[in-house]
Amino acid sequence: IRSHTCCDRKLPCVAWSGVSKRIPVLLFCAEAIVSKDVAIRSVGEKYNLAFKIVRTESRLVRGILVNHGFHEVHPNSNDFNLMWTGSHLKPYLLRSLQDFQKVNHFPRSFELKRKDRLYKNIQRMQQTHGFQNFHIVPQTFVLPAEYQEFSSSFSKDKGAWIIKPVASSRGRGIYLVSSPSQIPLDENILVSRYISNPLLIDGFKFDVRLYVLVTSYDPLLIYLYEEGLARFATVKYDHATANIKNQFMHLTNYSVNKKSSDYVSCDDPEVEDYGNKWSMSAMLRYLRQEGKDTTLLMGQIEDLIVKALLSAEIHIATACKMFVPHRCNCFELYGFDVLIDSNLKPWLLEVNLSPSLACDAPLDLKIKASMISDMFSLVGKFPFPTGSESQSVSVLIHSSSQCQRPPSSNSADPEAQREKAGAKLAESTLSLTAEEMKVLRRAQEEYDRRGGFVRIFPTPDTWELYSVAFIILFCVVPSALFCSLISWLFVLVPPSCSKVQARMAFSSYLHRVQLRLLAESRANMGPAWTQKEHDQMELVVRFLKRASSNLRQDMCLEEPSRLLCLSDRQRILSHQLGNFIQLYNQETKQMVESLDKIPDEDRCINSNVFQEFILEASESDLEEVLTFYTQKNKSASVFLGTKCDSSRVKRTSDENRESERHFFIFYMPSHQPRMKYDTAHVIKECFNNRWWSERNSSPKNEKSVIIYSPPCHYKPIKRNPN
């Protein structure tokens, strides 16, 4: 798919998706806007694809859609595949969206767009995850509410501040002040610390416009377009206070500077570093030649984008759950404005929800037409009428009622049958629900159609950077890594094991200990035994005494005599452990039978994956999971049971704690180093392309794993600049 071109004479602008790669997908190409190619147009026309543009005027969007054969419907019409709107949608309109319809905004996007909300969201992240980790925006106060705080900050550091209306754009109403007395207190405004040391090129201040595409907030999927724009001020920078009123020096907005007689535009799209608007890549090339580390800079910019979106993620994901009926209804193209200071630190100035798509200069058209075409290819999917509509394939957009609908799948159609069979096979091999399959395939296919968009979240690094447990991916991992990965998932991914699963894990763990004791008893025929081995035996004895007292049934426990040799003691203990496991499993079974529904099963690990894990996990893998479960629940009573029978020896709470503490430390043979994978390493390995799979089934020595968790479980780790 990646190598698609419009020059494929048979099927222009078509890629293939779905399990068997037989579902056609319409790809957009920027050249269509100028070439007006009939073959390209005919593809969209064939399916009667419709769009509407509401409350905005975008010649570029209209041009691209029309030249791909879409027809425009009235803004009031509901028969559209794509709605391009300049403002956010009311909840009732979102709720009425059908599965083949898309809009270019998520609900509650004002959490990012409004400068006051954006700042508050980032401030919240600073408080919960550390100021340094979210130090991505200049210090800001909302006035008049925070006037006191602002005054005290001002008295400590008397630099310039910049005043902005809370919900405005294009530099409107923005000015600089050097004293609080210059600030009006009767309006809601934002006052931000002015970055007085901007990075300059040829003495001019500039900022960068980056195009960021989000196709889902749950799970979060973020793409950054490879190209952007650098926008220059028209007067050379001089931070002397006398110039404070000169907007052409301090503001970099195009809408401000185009009014200056000094504004220079460039008529040649191939010249990207001339005049007041450069391409981002030309700007980076220039900085590289100046000896600046642009790789580090771009890494920090990506980090800033991810963090800004994470700060609003919970609000937007929640709103999506409430108002958006289908996962694929919304996408959003954001314009991120970033200012780079002389230390090469990027600062987020604002997030635009409807970034300007005006093409005043040839360079604008060159960059924006490619970006918009790639965006539509990435978010949209247009099936042919002859294609199947198999449940397993996410049909993102198809024609609406008056538009031509693809016929429903025909059971006699061999392609439809193959598609269904493929999906079934994948479903059974992966143990995924239909919904998981859909989400997964969508993420994979989006990635395949990404064009010039680079996925910046999730990536292998996001695990290390944000310790993120919110990935949704299908990985095929070597069997050797499977159990390690799953045991780490128990620890990392919040939906952990249910009580029944915890008991099953515990029983398996004891079974491993039992087998080990038996194996060691065979190997330990000699008289010598170490203090460590002695201690371990003691632990097992102590455990059995305590745990058996919690069984509902009586268990006759005989402590092996200390006069016996080690191997005999191990053998006896192993046998007793076996008896214990049998009774323990019976109780688990009774527990399951007495429940209609396992109370916390909604939050537990997928039972098929869990079963597989239980069968194959090593003693240390299981120990990992159980230790985590105990820590998380601050008790091991789930495995121990809580029965307190007065006929038995009464235990003090100290003793209880003592027994819990010793639960998972049976296994410490010094000759066998514990195999423990570093989480980031395991995840990275899984992300490694070698184990990405688009296959329908996995070979025997590999296993499929889906990693999924809801948003907002992460703790950011500061990026190490080195």
Residues making contact with ligand ADP (CB under 6 A): 138, 162, 164, 168-172, 174, 192, 194-195, 207, 251-253, 337, 339, 349-350
Distance separating alpha carbons of residues 680 and 485, to the nearest angstrom:
10
DSSP string, 341-389: BTTS-EEEEEEESS------SHHHHHHHHHHHHHHHHHH-----TTS--
Q: Which residues pair with 23 in a beta bridge?
A: 17
Shortest distance in whole angstroms from residue 450 CB to ligand ADP: 28
Q: In this complex, which beta carbon is closest to ligand ADP, that of residue 174 or of residue 416?
A: 174
Shortest distance in whole angstroms from residue 233 CB to ligand ADP: 7
Q: In this complex, which beta carbon is closest to ligand ADP, that of residue 224 or of residue 251?
A: 251
* Of 332, 339, 329, the residue nearest 353 (C-alpha): 332
Distance separating alpha carbons of residues 89 and 320, to the nearest angstrom:
12
Q: Amino acid identity, residue 355?
A: P
Shortest distance in whole angstroms from residue 159 CB to ligand ADP: 10
Shortest distance in whole angstroms from residue 176 CB to ligand ADP: 8
Q: In this complex, which beta carbon is closest to ligand ADP, that of residue 237 or of residue 384?
A: 237
Q: How many CA atoms within 13 Å lie on the side-chain side of 662? A: 18
Assess contact for 96 and 112: CB atoms under 8 A: no
Q: In this complex, which beta carbon is closest to ligand ADP, that of residue 198 or of residue 716?
A: 198
Shortest distance in whole angstroms from residue 285 CB to ligand ADP: 22
Tallying the residues shown for the chain, one arrives at 722
Assess contact for 50 and 79: CB atoms under 8 A: yes
Q: Can you tell me which residue has the tokens 């969201």? A: 121
Joined tokens for residue 42? 């005919």
Helices (H), 218-354: 247-250, 254-257, 280-289, 294-323
Joined tokens for residue 9? 């004479």
Shortest distance in whole angstroms from residue 186 CB to ligand ADP: 20
Q: In this complex, which beta carbon is closest to ligand ADP, that of residue 205 or of residue 420?
A: 205
Distance separating alpha carbons of residues 214 and 458, to the nearest angstrom:
12
Helices (H), 389-530: 414-430, 434-448, 460-466, 479-492, 499-523
CA angle 191, 196, 199 (to 5 degrees): 125
Distance separating alpha carbons of residues 622 and 506, to the nearest angstrom:
7
- What stretch of H or E contains 93? helix 91-95
Residue 242 Cα distances to 18, 159, 178, 265, 696, angstroms: 63, 13, 10, 28, 68
CA dihedral 539, 544, 547, 549 (to 10 degrees): -130
Assess contact for 338 and 347: CB atoms under 8 A: yes
At residue 122, φ and ψ (nearest 5 deg) are -70, -35
Shortest distance in whole angstroms from residue 269 CB to ligand ADP: 24
Shortest distance in whole angstroms from residue 431 CB to ligand ADP: 48
Shortest distance in whole angstroms from residue 347 CB to ligand ADP: 7
Residue 29 Cα distances to 74, 364, 424, angstroms: 25, 16, 34
Q: In this complex, which beta carbon is closest to ligand ADP, that of residue 340 or of residue 375?
A: 340
Shortest distance in whole angstroms from residue 164 CB to ligand ADP: 6
Q: In this complex, which beta carbon is closest to ligand ADP, that of residue 113 or of residue 703?
A: 113
Shortest distance in whole angstroms from residue 174 CB to ligand ADP: 5
Shortest distance in whole angstroms from residue 341 CB to ligand ADP: 9
